[in-house]
Amino acid sequence: MTLDQSFQQQVLTLLPRLRRFAVGLAGNPADGDDLCQITIERALLNQDKWQDGTRLDSWMYRIMRNCWIDETRSRSRRSETFVAEDAGMSVGGEGAQEATVELSNVDRAMQKLPEDQREAVLLVMVEGYAYKEAAEIVGCPVGTLNSRLVRGRDALMEMLEDAA
């Protein structure tokens, strides 16, 4: 099986964005990296199903979302528990500890959102997708995505205000 160099290069270019989305979905870097690896493997195996000239990033995000849904269902069936990430990261520099605490608050708040709202917030507010593109990735109407985004953003704001 020979892989198209252009396809591989485009996937490599997307890697930082894919990883950021994966970590956002999974809730921690280790699971996010696993999700990213599974996504890339599936994309490479199914490269022939991608149509040249269409948006590779949207196609990859859909694959990742489907992989995440599969993984979530699998974990649920196995009744695995999630272990919280170790606290106590060593931070240096003035203001770095405060910034780390704030980012930690945002991350915890994101993980408390229902999955559909978290996806909408990640795709639109973090990844910068237009509502229509994000709706296509998630597979719902634009109005539904907009509703999820508004509810998610409002819930985040409320949780972050409470944390302050």
Predicted pLDDT at 77 = 59
The pLDDT tens digits for 24-58 are 999 899 999 999 999 999 999 999 998 888 899 99
Q: How many domains does the chain have?
A: 2
Tokens at 102, concatenated: 């704030």
Predicted pLDDT at 4 = 64
Q: Answer whether residue 67 is part of any domain.
A: yes
- Model pTM? 0.57
The CATH code of the domain that includes 161 is 1.10.10.10
Sorted by sequence, the CB contacts under 8 Å of residue 36 that are 6+ apart come out as 15, 18, 19, 22, 64
How high is the mean pLDDT of the chain? 82
The pLDDT tens digits for 50-108 are 888 889 999 999 999 999 988 887 776 554 344 444 444 444 555 555 666 666 777 88
Pair 1, 76 in one domain: yes
Q: Answer whether residue 121 is part of any domain.
A: yes
Domain that holds residue 4: 1-80
The pLDDT tens digits for 104-138 are 777 888 889 999 999 999 999 888 899 999 999 99
Is the distance from CB of 52 to CB of 10 less than 8 angstroms? no
Predicted pLDDT at 43 = 94
